[in-house]
Amino acid sequence: MQLNTDYSERIVLHADEIVWTQSPMQGVMRKLLERNGAEAAKATSIVRYEPGSSFSLHTHDLGEEILVLDGVFEDETGHYGAGSYIKNPPGSSHQPGSSSGCTLFVKLRYMDPDDNERVVVQSTTASWYQGLVPGLTVLPLAEYATTHTALVRWAPNTIFKPHRHFGGEEIYVIKGVFEDEHGSYPAGSWIRSPHMSMHSPYTQAGCEIFVKTGHLIS
């Protein structure tokens, strides 16, 4: 399957407008944002575990990133509530599930084979840092080579300077409304901007976003 695989294109989607599709496991549903491949695919998805559902034991050949949007995600390494970020490196394996149900933002097969660091961050208890402009706070999540991943909180009426994205930029809006000169993006929006794209972001209402940069050099 190929869905939004041209990284030279700017893509804007809203999760509420995408239908749920059944995964191979009963009780685990997905909203596909991008996908290149069959079941073992380079992909970005919203994944929902119904209460008591689980996925079979599997290995991530090129890694996995998970951001818990709501509920509690579980595997043999622990329980991860809303706001948790988990980076499972290439070659890792687990058997995920959820006793109470959860919704996740998931990226698969984006990592360099040599990126072997496992990362777990709980955003609700971690220390956030002042950003480059007033009203912006940042929680770094992971980085490797040109790739940087973070959560960013924008206070209402925050404006960021125009800037260009080497290696592209990907944003998932968790809360509030993110904006730039191209439009307004409420919670649930996914924006993927290509290598060397430029924009002038801001927010009037305030927002929290997941941001990944430098990983879209094809």
Could you report the per-residue pLDDT of 123-158, keeping only the tens digit for each? 999 999 999 999 999 999 999 999 999 999 999 999
pLDDT tens digits, 194-205: 999 999 999 999
- CATH H superfamily, domain 129-213: Jelly Rolls (2.60.120.10)
What does the block give as tokens for 8?
Answer: 């030279």
> Which residues of the chain does CATH 2.60.120.10 include?
2-8+19-122, 129-213
> Tell me, what's the pLDDT at 41?
79
**Rounded-to-integer distance, Cα 173 and Cα 188, Å:** 5
Return the CATH fold of 2-8+19-122. Jelly Rolls (2.60.120)
Residue 175 has pLDDT above 90, yes or no: yes
**Rounded-to-integer distance, Cα 206 and Cα 176, Å:** 6
What is the percent of the chain where pLDDT is above 70?
A: 99
Residue 22 has pLDDT above 70, yes or no: yes
Q: 3-class SS at 16?
A: helix
Residues 6+ apart with CB under 8 A from 17: none
Residue 218 has pLDDT above 70, yes or no: no
Residues 6+ apart with CB under 8 A from 2: 35, 36
